[in-house]
Structure 1
Amino acid sequence: MSMSFPHPLRAFSVGAQASTRLAEKIADDPPTNKTPQSMVTCVYQMHISACWCNVTVLWCKNLMNHSLNLIFNNPDGGEIYYSCKIELKPWLFWSKKGSKSFELEGCHVDVHWDLRSARFSGSPEPSSDYYVALVSEGEVVLMLGDYKKKAYKRTKARPALVDPTLFYKKENVFAKKSFSTRAKFDERKQEHEIVVESSTTGPKDPEMWISVDGIVVIHVKNLQWKFRGNQSVMVDKQQVQVLWDVHDWLFNSPGAGHGLFIFKPGAPEPDDDQDAVLTVPVVMPAT
């Protein structure tokens, strides 16, 4: 199944939309068609030397490989400036801590990472005990992970004056009957746990449940007739649009069905083309 979490930008520009399309292309083009792969794609906008730059953070995992990819691109047109890949294979312990240096439009940038103790909970993206830090001109312009003190100590850099903004997150994962993830609907508030559960086999009519922080916010009965839909729910006093398309779970051969879920903060706009949103191609099948 696939889950997508669009986040609002301070100013959602044409360049931001281009980066979103770039992230979708990367997520929807796995390196191999034969090896199932789980992916988490995040797109951030960060401030480097008085200008904005977008970085796509792509965590990938399959039976043979586990890696982190960083792709830096021009926020105006999506042109890729630089990309680097960090291998996270268990037998490559030496590669789980390191650094790289490169130039972005004349600005020196260092990326430091320590993933030796990283914990994973069913996702290619670590859940705790790690850091990935991007440093430019003595500032940490992007910090990933919870080992912030270790990152600042190693980089000897200060926090950035302008915080980066996460405006897009998408997860492509394999699951059977249940999938969980964590996401923020507002950068100023805490993360929420999202769980999607389904019952599509057996004598009873298929059903689906979507829970946020342990509370069922959507329960879809007769899923065979309601395999596409949308509903607005309240999460921590904030309105969130939930859209789903699980047609292929029900009408494709077992193990070949794709599911798509989108969680979009804010009230629906009158001219939203929700059907178009729901037909975004999804590569990863639910098994």
Structure 2
Amino acid sequence: MRDLVSCFSENSINVTHPLSLPSSCSNYNTSNACIPPSLIPSIQTSITSIYRITLPSKHLIIKVTWCNKINPSHGLSISVSSADQNPSTSLKLNTSSRFFRKKKGNKSVDSDLGKIEALWDLSSAKYDSNTCPEPIQSFYVIVLVDARLALVLGDSSEETLKKKSLAFDGFDSGKSLISRQEYFSGNTFYSTKAKFVESGDSHEIVIRCSAEKTEGLKQSSSTHNHRSPVLSVCIDEKTVTKVKRLQWNFRGNQTIFVDGLLVDLMWDVHDWFFCNPEGCGKAVFMFRTRNGLDSSRLWLEEKKMVQKDEQDKLDFSLLIYACKT
């Protein structure tokens, strides 16, 4: 009997070795499936990363949210909670609040999970662009639980860890990035990067909604020049999905392979066409990895993910919330 992965591979798009891919969308015979360089991408307003942390006798969920200046909640937000059926937040930090509006500091709290301490330094942080909410270097964010390292982000934490008599070498808290949520505002061109496996390559993801001439066997003179919305999704400049007549196919899914993994690509652009005022709604795009045996469950259910046995491999999901303005 053939395994599930081989069955899927016959009708799926395979994306591997991004550096060796041709600079064209070779899967479809179309000249405008990828984004022309002149089109300006939408603005990324916030990014939320959700981590599953395994410590001795503790399972935690840590959410880290970055917001740019366009977002009213601009700054850094951190929440730590227990990964049980009814998680209750034990620590919340928002650097844009009245008391924590500073680029370097720390905060601690005693809770039923133990003593939780967050330390951060964004004073010298560097960003990809002026509107990018998440720094890429010269910063750190550290979360300690009962003086144990739970989460370390950034590249400038060494000195702070030494002061705390902690060593990053050999640090292994059982950290797993289980979800990344990105929010965009602007037109219908969205560009981001993501790793579908922590040890894998970073892939460039481009999503675009454009208008193309309607194709069909018969066309009347009134519809000959009609143009309908088309959704194109590219990974590393390779088209993985092209959805024509999007106003009729506003929800759907496609299975692709990335880095040898099954990835479910799903879209829901209903509100782009059927909200009030028309065209100003929010669309959702989702990329979710799954193992070959998990063929029935497509959409992310966060509670189920955090309740899985710690020995099971946690799936990763990238959600893009696209607000068309």
TM-score between the two structures when normalised by the length of structure 2: 0.64
| CA-based RMSD | 3.5
Structure 2 gaps of 5+ residues are 1-42, 214-225, 303-319
Deviation at 1:111, TM superposition (A): 1.6
Give the direction of change, closer, same or farther, for the CA distance of 1:223–1:185 in structure 2 (3 Å limit): same
Task: Note closer, same or farther for the CA distance 1:235–1:161 as it changes in structure 2 (3 Å cut).
Answer: closer
Correspondence 1:180 to 2:204: no
Asked if 1:210 corresponds to 2:233, the answer is yes
Structure 1 unaligned spans of 5+ = 1-35
Q: Per residue, is there more helix in 1 or in 2?
A: 1
| Residue 162 (str. 1) matches residue 173 (str. 2) | yes
Contact 1:57 1:70 in 2 (8 A): yes
* Partners of 2:253 and 2:266 within 8 A in 1: yes
Contact 1:242 1:262 in 2 (8 A): yes
Query: Paired residue for 1:286?
Result: 324
SS at match of 1:205: strand
- Partner residue in 2 for 1:129: 138
Percent identity between the two aligned chains? 29
Inter-partner Cα distance in structure 2 for 1:124 and 1:173: 11
Please report how far the alpha carbon of residue 149 of structure 1 lies from its aligned counterpart in structure 2 after TM superposition.
Answer: 4.1
Change (3 A) 1:169 1:275: closer
Whole-angstrom CA distance in 2 between matches of 1:257 and 1:95 = 34
Q: How far apart are the structure 2 equivalents of 1:275 and 1:112? A: 31
Equivalent pairs counted in the alignment come to 246
Q: Distance in 2 between matches of 1:208 and 1:215?
A: 14
Q: Distance in 1 between matches of 2:301 and 2:91?
A: 31
Which of 245, 249, 260 is matched with 2:284 structurally? 260
- The 3-state SS of whatever aligns with 1:95 is coil
Take 2:245 and 2:165, find their aligned partners in 1: how far apart are those partners? 57
Mapping 1:1-287, distance limit 5 Å: 38-48=45-55, 50-61=57-68, 62=70, 64-76=72-84, 77-87=86-96, 95-105=102-112, 107-118=114-125, 119-121=127-129, 122-136=131-145, 139-149=148-158, 152-153=161-162, 155-159=164-168, 160-200=171-211, 204-252=227-275, 253-254=277-278, 256-266=280-290, 267=292, 269-272=294-297, 285-287=323-325
Higher-Rg structure is 2
Q: Deviations over 1:31-73 (max 9, x none)?
A: xxxxx99332222122345322222222234354412221111
Q: TM-score, normalised by structure 1?
A: 0.72
